Every structure is written in C-alpha cells, then in structure tokens.
Amino acid sequence: MSIYICGDSTADTYDPKETLMVGWGQLLGGYLPGVPVIDIAKAGRSTKSFLAEGRLQQLDGHLGEGDLLLVQFAHNDESDKPERHTEPWTSFTDNLTFFVQFARERKAIPVLLTPICMRVWENGVLQPTHGEYLEAVRVLADKLKVPLIDLYAESWRLVAEMGEEGSKKLFMHIAEGEDPRYPQAVMDNAHTRFAGADRFAAYAAKSLKALGLVE
C-alpha cells in the first residue's frame, strides 16, 4: 500500500535549503514507517487548477488497489482568480467527486480532508476561515461514504489552545534577522513552519490509523 497526497501549498513538500515553510504532506511519512508516501500537492492549486493541469491524471498507472488517495483543498478554491475559483456546493464538490471516482475506479481508497485553518485573530478572538467549503467537504464525505479527516477542526482547536501569541510558532511568522533567507519580517497566517506541519501530519497519521486505513 502507498499513500498519495493531492492538495495545495499547505500539504506541499519544500526544500529545507530554500525555505522554512513545511507542508504537512512532507512529514506524514515520518509517522507511518514502512508506508510509502507520495506527495503531489502543489502550491497555488485549487481542485479546478489541479485537475486542469492534469496532476491527478499523472497517477494513472501508479495509484492502484489498496492505495490511499488523500485529498485536501479549499485555500485556493476561494480565490477570485478564474483559473482557481470554485463554488463550494457546486464546482468544488463536483471536482472532489472526480477525485473520489478516480480513486475508486482504480480500487484505491479516497480520503477527504478539510483544510487547515488560517491563523486569523481579531480582538483576541480566533476567526473562522474557509466558509462553506468546510461543510461542503464534510457533507460530501458523508454522501459518498468517504473517510473524512477533519484537519480544520483539529488545527482550529490547536491554534485556539495555543493562543494568539503562542500559535505564531506554528505558522510562517519570522522575525527580522531570524533567518538570512528572510531579510524582512514575515507574517504569514496560512502556511506552516515545521512545528505546525509536524502537528498536523501527526494528527493525519493518527486519524488514518483510527479509521483502520493503516496499521
């Protein structure tokens, strides 16, 4: 059995020599020893652009019986850019359905994941993000009888628990002078550093085991 990951920048794999950014997808294999993890998530992609570029179709001939196909989108589906944008209850769920069918046609097991939350605090209150896309994933998973990992709920819980200041270390918050690759301070509330990616990868692995999909 192999695990394939389709998603956006939050699940992507990055070169540690080039950036402090880490996607949860690149760390998942560390929690599942002996299980090959192939991360084909790509920054900036939505369900629409990922499919339009033929990225899922690249798995034809590789994804097979007993494999897992993990699918996590929404960040870029919310974009106003026409090549990325989808509507939560129509084109977004239609595209996710295509991922599910693609896996099942090859006797693989699809797994849907809600996206990680964005770290948005206002007046000391953590704000909800991703709107109706979250419920669209949950409803579709139930409708199609697809295993669901609610990464949003877990990330929200963790960020809220760590607080406005403490949760900065999960994301790309880099102080001026902290790293020579970043001459100016960075305040990115969407993308994770190692600490965040590691926690979310651990939760994804734990969930896969709880679902009985991996040992």
- CATH for 75: 3.40.50.1110
pLDDT of 181 above 90: no
Domain that holds residue 12: 3-210
Distance of CA 164 to the CA centre of its chain: 22
In whole angstroms, what is the distance from residue 61 CA to residue 71 CA?
Answer: 18
Q: Per the residue annotation, which of 105, 135, 176, 178 is the catalytic one?
A: 176
Residues 6+ apart with CB under 8 A from 8: 41, 42, 43, 44, 45, 46, 72, 73, 75, 76, 115
176 catalytic? Reply is: yes
Residue 157 lies in a domain: yes
Q: Per the residue annotation, which of 46, 49, 155, 191 is the catalytic one?
A: 191
10-57 tens-digit pLDDT: 999 999 999 999 999 999 999 999 999 999 999 999 999 999 999 999
Q: Which of 71, 90, 93, 80 is nearest to 5 (CA)?
A: 71
Residue 162 lies in a domain: yes
Q: Check residue 171 and give left, alpha or beta (phi > 0: left; psi -120 to 50: alpha).
A: beta
**Token pair listed for 97:** 């359905």
Residue 33 lies in a domain: yes
Domain tally for the chain?
1
Residue 118 lies in a domain: yes
Q: Per the residue annotation, which of 9, 46, 49, 155 is the catalytic one?
A: 9
9 catalytic? Reply is: yes
Q: Which of 147, 118, 154, 122 is nearest to 208 (CA)?
A: 147
Residue 215 lies in a domain: no
> What is the pLDDT, as a whole number, of residue 160?
97
* pTM exceeding the 0.95 threshold for the entire prediction: yes
pLDDT band at 177 (very low <50, low <70, confident <90, very high): confident
Residue 180 lies in a domain: yes
> What is the pLDDT, as a whole number, of residue 159?
98
75 catalytic? Reply is: no
Residue 143 lies in a domain: yes
